[in-house]
Chains A and B, each alone.
Chain A
């Protein structure tokens, strides 16, 4: 398959204009290595029809689970058809970064609306235009907060992949992370933080945390604000209709993974990192930012702004090297949030909360225990099984569910599983899964 439109007549006319007889002459100046390449290209081209068949064959080798109880950083939520349709508009899909505002108002306004949605979600003053994913958003927030030195405190309740990315980002500038342990209640140890307030530059926690537990984010915020330590909250956007906003908790920065806002699981990407901050950090903010201004007739115009922070102007002194970000994902999130609206955000949060608690009840009846039974959780939680009961080991449970076409929770150890429920999980699905685990659904 080729996508080049040239006819032989076109090529002849073009070559004639150039005064040459073959395209190869244009490559005459290229220095090619004397020894022949070790490996040839060796890729046989296919027709469009054959290509489609070949990719469909690959896709068919993956197992699509209709029922999913796995989260741990990537979440299956309902994606309204209108979201997909709007985000598939070729004028959004096939545009480049909006460098020419006069002909890109649609994209710029969409990003401005996204930024507005994120500030409303988080309660903070400003959002950038998007980040590569939630983990890189958290990492760059840390870099912004900790630039002047001091300890970087990161809760062990933050998703381990997010911590790993923060550590990698910090390694460039020779910095490391100090991990805040979790208490027996599965919550960030606030006493540990208290003891380190004088040397800390910033503190990052996750709300709810990786194990689903709801952190005392406001108490922590009071402590950190009082000590002048930068406070970063890494939040699950679907919880923000129910749980206190980062602003209400006193956070300086909010970061998070925006995938749940209308993006499919997609084996990990493309996803959407969001980052929002208080006013005083705006001129240090990483990435693209869209702002409103006017033209000479006073009409409102949206533009990429505060570019003095950015790589194409500041080069090595830029606040980040971000050029392409995740604009189409940001647009998708804005459409999603506008589609569900103020009430929808609260409803979906309440549904996640209620379904997860119903699942937790069912699993307990099936013989599992909650690891943190006295701690409130949002839509994820950890179960433990009796090590003596092999039938209820994490591996056996997952295998039995798999045979029924159900994707169970994340295996944390031989006896521990991290479960997730969203508004998509029905009572019947949950009952069915619990029956399979208890054995009443037949042991496979």
Chain B
């Protein structure tokens, strides 16, 4: 499909502005700061624009289009109600600097959401400032660094299991830590001996995803907490998989000290094709003073305000200019308000039921690891590849032809030819049945006619891209 730039016609207008009703001001014509060559933006009519993007949308696929079991991404349905509340003028038209007195509703919403997230996670305090999960990790790691500095300890290392999301080590490095990778066992559980050996006095924190990236609830949490805390370290909870346990088990009660939450996963805010998300950080009281500034506080008269220097004034500063991806937070608040405690627990239970059901159906034709899973499971195409040459990538591409989004593939790294399915709680039994039937058909075809699977997808506007060419000779703009 041609680019909007290619549809441009000199002089055509989409939007026109009101005629200038004040005298035109002109900067000195010889000034060095005047633009010499104009920004050559597309010139199209409003209808050109509408049709162009309608065409693009027909080549996009969202949760609204169909099943999206992308493991670790929690692609649940995004209720329309949340879109409506976040579009209210009373939230959209509020300037972040207009003053707390005229933004009491925004501050109350932020206070409420932080409070609810605290109750759900068992943490004492938090911030809504981080714009995404990885941003929340980075924020938390800076807090951990500041905490150890404040008590005069020089801890320079962060331990990360090899099954962790790539953002964990990357965020730790950005925060200036040395990353120590430790192995996981074949189920993705923490290798306790490896942790024990690595956990010396130079380690600031251990970052753990629970349920882990194989969809299993870590079996040795109290032992892990004992080792980490026993040597003065901090236990970090990567909240990417919180959907499996919300309303059932709270990280704060299990010994975790600090965590981030992906509102765009667990709390149903849409992902927008790659953001905006939101990555609030929640923590125990002893880390609260290090949270980014400002904090929303409520006084004894029930009035809300934004304050710096709360809990001792040791804040790490700011990790984003204003108060977080606020309208995303409104969507999450709407979702939590609608679900309530029972709805939240129900969502986690159904997410786990769906994943186990899908896992059971899939186990009849693909290896899926041992034991019951939580909200997601990992199947392996290793044998299939050995026998037929058809890889996890090929299977994923063939699923596209079945009008569904493929699972996450080649993650976690510790399972060969991994396919990670996360159906989420908003999908019906019928949707899962149909998806597994399609998957089964693909696996059977792979054994008899592997070439047909390797040439998938065939129903899409384009075939598989030459990614090597894309990286070798980057074409990044029109």
Please name the residue on chain B nearest to A132 by beta carbon.
Answer: B131
- Say whether B119 contacts A269, CB under 8 Å: no
| Contact partners of A370 in chain B: CB under 8 A | none
CB distance from A249 to the nearest CB of B (A): 8
Q: How far is the CA of A168 from the CA of B248 in the complex (A)?
A: 35
Interface pair B317/A171, CB less than 8 Å apart: yes
Could you tell me if B321 and A73 are in contact, using CB atoms closer than 8 angstroms? yes
Partner of A341, one of B12, B103, B374: B12
B 177-201 contacts with A by CB, 8 A: 179
A101 to B141, CA, bound (A): 33
8 Å CB interface, B246-305 against A: 247-250, 253-254, 262, 264, 268, 270-277, 292
A95 engages B131 (CB within 8 Å):
no
Chain A, range 193-252, C-beta contacts under 8 Å to B: 207, 214-219, 240-245, 248-249
The one of B27, B97, B120, B323 in contact with A242, judged by C-beta atoms closer than 8 angstroms, is B27
Which of A113, A171, A293, A348 is the most central at the interface, judged by chain B CB atoms within 10 Å of its CB?
A: A293
Q: Which residues of A have CB within 8 Å of B76?
A: 3
Q: Chain A residue with minimal CB distance to B139?
A: A168
Q: Name B326's closest neighbour in chain A (CB-CB).
A: A267
Total contacts A-B at CB 8 Å: 704
Kindly provide the distance from the CB of B459 to the nearest chain A CB, expressed in whole angstroms. 9
Residues of B within 8 A of A270 (CB): 131, 275-276, 325-328
Known A326-B131, A353-B25; contact A31-B221, beta-carbon cutoff 8 A: yes
Residues of B within 8 A of A218 (CB): 32-33
Q: Is the CB of A1 within 8 A of B470?
A: no
Known contacts A74-B97, A341-B44, A376-B27; is A55 also within 8 Å of B337 by CB? yes
24 contacts between A and B (CB under 8 A): A1-B81, A35-B253, A59-B89, A62-B104, A74-B95, A86-B50, A90-B65, A105-B60, A120-B41, A168-B292, A168-B318, A172-B175, A174-B176, A266-B326, A269-B322, A271-B322, A294-B465, A308-B471, A321-B167, A322-B134, A341-B44, A353-B27, A376-B33, A426-B21
Q: Flag the segment in A11-19, A148-156, A435-443 that touches B.
A: A11-19
8 Å CB contact of B16 from A37, A132, A344: A344
Query: Is A51's CB under 8 angstroms from B324's CB?
Result: no
Inter-subunit contact B38/A267 (CB<8 Å): no
Chain A residues near B365: list those with CB within 8 A: none
Best-surrounded residue of A132, A219, A282, A337 (most CB of chain B within 10 A): A132
Q: Is A190 an interface position by the 8 A CB rule?
A: no
Chain A residues within 8 Å of B239, by CB:
none
Given A127-B476, A136-B131, A376-B28: A243 and B34 interface contact (C-beta under 8 Å): yes
Residues of the B chain whose Cβ atoms lie less than 8 Å from the Cβ of A120: 39-41
> Once the chains bind, are B14 and A45 in contact (CB under 8 Å)?
no
- Is the Cβ of A26 less than 8 Å from the Cβ of B372? yes
Q: Quick one: given A58-B108, A132-B135, A173-B176, are A126 and B476 in contact (CB under 8 Å)?
A: yes
Instruction: Report how far A343 CA is from B460 CA in the complex, Å.
Output: 37
Contact A264 B170 (CB under 8 A): no
Q: Mark A11-54, 1 if CB is under 8 A from B, else 0.
A: 10111011000011011111111010111111111111001101
The reply on A339 being an interface residue by CB < 8 A is: yes
Residue among A51, A165, A242, A354 making CB contact with B320, cutoff 8 Å: A165
A-chain residues with CB within 8 Å of residue B360 when the two chains form the complex: 17-18
B387 at the binding interface (Cβ < 8 Å):
no
Using CB atoms, name the residue of chain A closest to B330.
A55
Closest 8 CB pairs of A and B: A45-B340, A59-B90, A268-B322, A328-B272, A94-B62, A327-B274, A61-B105, A270-B276
Q: Give chain A residues whose Cβ lies under 8 Å from the Cβ of B277.
A: 324
Asked whether B132 lies within 8 Å of A325 as measured between CB atoms, the reply is yes
Complex-state Cα separation, A3 to B335, whole angstroms: 10
B276→A102 contact, CB < 8 A: no
A109: B residues at CB distance < 8 A: 1, 3, 56, 59
Partner of A215, one of B11, B21, B23, B33: B33
Question: Which residues of chain A in 281-325 are interfacial with respect to chain B, using CB atoms and an 8 Å cutoff?
Answer: 282, 288-297, 299-301, 303, 305-308, 310-318, 320-325
A91-B64, A174-B176 given; A1·B42 CB < 8 A: no
Chain B residues whose C-beta falls within 8 Å of the C-beta of A393 in the assembled complex: none
CB-nearest residue of chain A relative to B103? A62
| A-side contacts of B95, CB under 8 Å | 65, 68, 70, 74, 76, 265, 267, 407
Q: Mark B49-76, 1 if CB is under 8 A from A, else 0.
A: 1101111111111111100101001011
A364 interface residue, CB < 8 Å from B? no
Bound: A311/B90 CA distance, A: 38
Tell me the minimal C-beta distance from A350 to chain B in angstroms: 7
Q: Is A112 at the interface (CB under 8 A from chain B)?
A: yes
Chain A: minimal CB distance from B24 (Å)? 5
Residue numbers in B under 8 Å from A325 (CB-CB)? 132, 274-275
Choose, from B226-234, B341-349, B445-453, the stretch at the interface.
B341-349
Identify which of A100, A162, A295 contacts B466 (C-beta below 8 A): A295
List the A side residues contacting B167 at CB < 8 Å: 311-312, 321, 323
Query: Do B56 and A4 touch (CB < 8 A)?
Result: no
A269: contacting residue among B264, B316, B327, CB under 8 A: B327
